Structure 1
């Protein structure tokens, strides 16, 4: 694929040298594709960005090689990264009008980048969506246009170490019927009956887990209009449960919780065999089992049958998006189509980026899934019939809410703020972050 640049130097090369960027139009202030984005020249050069672990980087490189073997004239510059560094780099890249052509997106940031007009609408640019799960498409839609297509779907769950549970003498709970009060008593009994902590306490600052709790009460973390959608009473109840568990010894002390959170998933109590339960996403089970060296059981979040409605939902593990400024829209669309629909791509990806959003591919690879991914797939299959519609796409500014909630969670754990003060602080700081 040949560039139309008369100098023979591609627009992408000029942009990276800082020549093209100065003359480029600034990002617009609102969603909408206008003229359909860049890429009229079709230079065949794609920057492809994603985050993840080393195994993800390795198989994604193999996917790239398989794509290039079928698409002459296209070149791809891969840029893998870790999650936090990824968003720092993407912010700089987009601010400099040099966004990667094809990129992973997350629900916390999707609206933010779409509202900056940094993302291309994906509805009618040659990507085959005929087999993509309707929920996976809807999850990436804003104002009737699709700015991200889910790589796959996953769900929050409670992971339980069955060996440690048996050692405590406590029976496995009925996760289709248990309440949050049942959960509290369960982890207290597990802690008292064995040598491991009932729950490590490192997930109660997860805004997605709180969202499940709020949804069970007919509320939500955010409204479709981008405002907070829960009552103070609901968040007070959440934080009070945290304090009750800490004071009962069912979770570690404040310092231990903070240290365990900072240590990361691989060094957290569930993975190291010192904790019996923890809330995680289903696609994380394999990595945790590998470190643990044993099997885990996946349970539904407490309270699903006791509230106004089920709170659990299928979350897009991540999205594929295309930059509006891409230098080759056709090639970028072909890459996303390949990532979503091609056998070679799905055979390498399997369930690492969530249970494939392509339902035909999902059915095809189910027998091929390794045991950990099969465990997650079976859990999601059993859960799906009991779910209601998922939450709306988070508002602009939601990317900073995780840090807000973590900071306030720590002040609560150390008794620097009361339950009510923690809730008030969260509401005030989050409203400021999302402009509500």
Structure 2
């Protein structure tokens, strides 16, 4: 929660790890190139099985993510000729809109890219398979993965998702753009007051500031103040003083009223891809989100960008290492073991990760991480270095959001929009949000 500064939920779309196009089959080009040479690592040896296997695999992301994921799929299919993987991908918001009816019809893809915001919703409803069987049998080998990284995919004592990378919140900035606007780039220990000053100067120079996903950055802001979005049991909001809500959204409203962030109507038209981000387009000094999103932005913008920590004070309390995303297996899948084999390949195969290069977060397997270091581009090194810095300047992650949190995130977005459009005061919004959020959590109590 980039602290109090957050701007509307809608602006969050500006920097979500989204995708731009959808596909239906790994055999489609989707921007993919010829499959790389087959890896010689043990996990990629040609499968001895002759039985044909078809896997459906779904993810969200930008075009660059689609392209390299299809390459990894081609690599796996070449090493396992009996396996065919059908790819399904879309932009972030569209992805979840497609997944929901599939879940209702018990027709989820075999392999699902999962986000922490949805982990409890799907895992708590037994729609995701328990991967423990596969980790115990070494089909999904986690010997080279830290226990903390593995446990981040647990819900209700079950391992329903495999962490495939870690990242940290960041404000991705164009320091050269700042200098041209006579703005001194911030230090790592900058504060919200510094953000206020930079935002005002940027506006005077004709530039906006990147928006904030309130469902991400409001909890961050609370953490910097020693508070939580939800209580430990997930049965109620974790903060009791609505002044925290008022302070956070008062700053958001100030930025919005000044025209320092993207207007809501324009934000609603965004696809959420790196190519569509206001930073890429040269209109914004920053874009706020997760460190794994840096590569997409740096590639799309073709400019020198910097990973800047979120404002403080006490940013080290707010920051945490987050599973960037997961691979899950649907509980309805008829080929769970084969799906687990592919996830193992993704996690542990060094040649595959030479293609992935940590775009979905810094790899969780230590051998993979060490093998990649000499091969990283300058921008990829920036991401690895920033996550290493964040590891030393952060606090433990909160538990997965409770059932009902997705409704609360939408409620927060809708409430933020009402504030920005002056349909409700910040003070009224704080009371209304608490009442409605409490009702949602009460409804979902077991």
TM-score range with shorter-chain normalisation?
Answer: 0.7 to 0.9
Question: Distance in 2 between the 1:65 and 1:268 partners?
Answer: 30
CA contact (8 A) 1:151 1:318 kept: yes
Report the CA distance shift for 1:372/1:405 in structure 2 as closer, same or farther (over 3 A): farther
Question: Distance in 2 between the 1:65 and 1:147 partners?
Answer: 26
2:342 aligned partner: 335
RMSD across aligned positions (CA): 2.3
Among 253, 256, 270, which residue is 1:243 paired with? 253
TM-score by length of 1: 0.81
CA contact (8 A) 1:140 1:149 kept: yes
Among 279, 295, 300, which residue is 1:270 paired with? 279
Question: Distance in 2 between the 1:235 and 1:410 partners?
Answer: 14
1:352 aligned partner: 359
CA contact (8 A) 1:159 1:296 kept: yes
Among 130, 133, 138, which residue is 2:151 paired with? 138
Per-residue CA shift, 1:314-350, capped at 9, x if unaligned?
2212101112222123212111111111123212211
Question: Distance in 1 between the 2:271 and 2:382 partners?
Answer: 23
Report the CA distance shift for 1:87/1:70 in structure 2 as closer, same or farther (over 3 A): same
Per-residue CA shift, 1:118-149, capped at 9, x if unaligned?
11111231211111243321221122221111
1:301 aligned partner: 310
Question: Distance in 1 between the 2:327 and 2:171 partners?
Answer: 27
Q: Which has the larger radius of gyration?
A: 1
Following TM superposition, by how much is the alpha carbon of 1:96 offset from its aligned partner in structure 2, in angstroms?
1.8
Among 64, 73, 96, which residue is 1:87 paired with? 96
Following TM superposition, by how much is the alpha carbon of 1:294 offset from its aligned partner in structure 2, in angstroms?
1.2
2:225 aligned partner: 217
SS state of the match for residue 391, structure 1? coil
Question: Distance in 2 between the 1:261 and 1:185 partners?
Answer: 27
Report the CA distance shift for 1:360/1:258 in structure 2 as closer, same or farther (over 3 A): farther
Following TM superposition, by how much is the alpha carbon of 1:257 offset from its aligned partner in structure 2, in angstroms?
4.4
TM-score by length of 2: 0.80
SS state of the match for residue 58, structure 2? strand
Question: Distance in 1 between the 2:83 and 2:174 partners?
Answer: 47
Question: Distance in 1 between the 2:66 and 2:198 partners?
Answer: 39
Following TM superposition, by how much is the alpha carbon of 1:213 offset from its aligned partner in structure 2, in angstroms?
0.6
Aligned residues: 385
Q: State yes or no: 1:425 paired with 2:436.
A: no
CA contact (8 A) 1:283 1:373 kept: no
> Can you give the 5+ residue segments of structure 2 that lack an aligned partner in the other structure?
1-50
Question: Distance in 2 between the 1:431 and 1:303 partners?
Answer: 29
Report the CA distance shift for 1:99/1:296 in structure 2 as closer, same or farther (over 3 A): same
Per-residue CA shift, 1:376-432, capped at 9, x if unaligned?
211111121121111110111223344322222221112111111222233233334
Question: Distance in 2 between the 1:79 and 1:311 partners?
Answer: 34
